[in-house]
Structure 1
Amino acid sequence: MDKLLDKALSTGISIAGGIIATKAFEFAWRQATGEEAPKHGDDEEFTLKKALVFAISSAAISATVQVLSQRGAKVGREKIKQAYGKQSEV
C-alpha cells in the first residue's frame, strides 16, 4: 500500500509541477521575446538560434521540475507517514 501511495503522490506532484512550469515558462518566453513559444518543430518563423535557446531553456526547467518534484514527493511521503503513524498509535 505504501508503494502505491508513494507512486500516486510522486505522479501527482510531477504532473502539477510540470503544468505550472510550462505555463510559467510560456509566460516568461512571451515577456522576453514578445512572441508566442514555439509549439511545433516545423515553425519556420523561428530562427535556429531561438529554437536552440527555447529547447535548452525548457529542458533545463523540465529537469529542475523533475528533481524538485521528486524531493517534494519524498518530503510529503515522510510527513504523511509520520502523521499516519502517530494516529495509529493513539
Structure 2
Amino acid sequence: MDLLVFGHKNPDTDSICSSISLTYLKNQLGHNATACALGDIRKEAQFVLDYFKVDAPKVLNTDETPIKGLNVVLVDHNEYAQSADGIE
C-alpha cells in the first residue's frame, strides 16, 4: 500500500467511484495504489458497485491506520474538514 486514494468523509457514489477509478489508473501506471472510503458505503453507492460487479473499497479507520507520513491522493473534495483525520 504505497498510495492511498480516498474521497471525503461520508462518501457518496461519486466519491467512491472516483477513488476506485483513480486507483485503477495509478495501478495501470505501475503504482501500488489502494482505494479507500472514509466511512460506510451508502446504499446507492453499493447498488452501483454491485451492478457493475466492482468490489467496494476498504473503509479506512484513521485510528487504526494513521495517515500522517503516508502518500495519499484526495478525490472529490479539497477541504481539510471533509478529509481524513490527521491529513494536515
TM-score normalised over the length of structure 1: 0.30
TM-score by length of 2: 0.30
Greater share of strand: 2
Task: Please state which structure has a larger fraction of its residues in helix.
Answer: 1
> Relative contact order (alpha carbons < 8 A, sep ≥ 6): 1 or 2 greater?
1
- Structure 1 or 2, whichever has the larger Rg, is 1
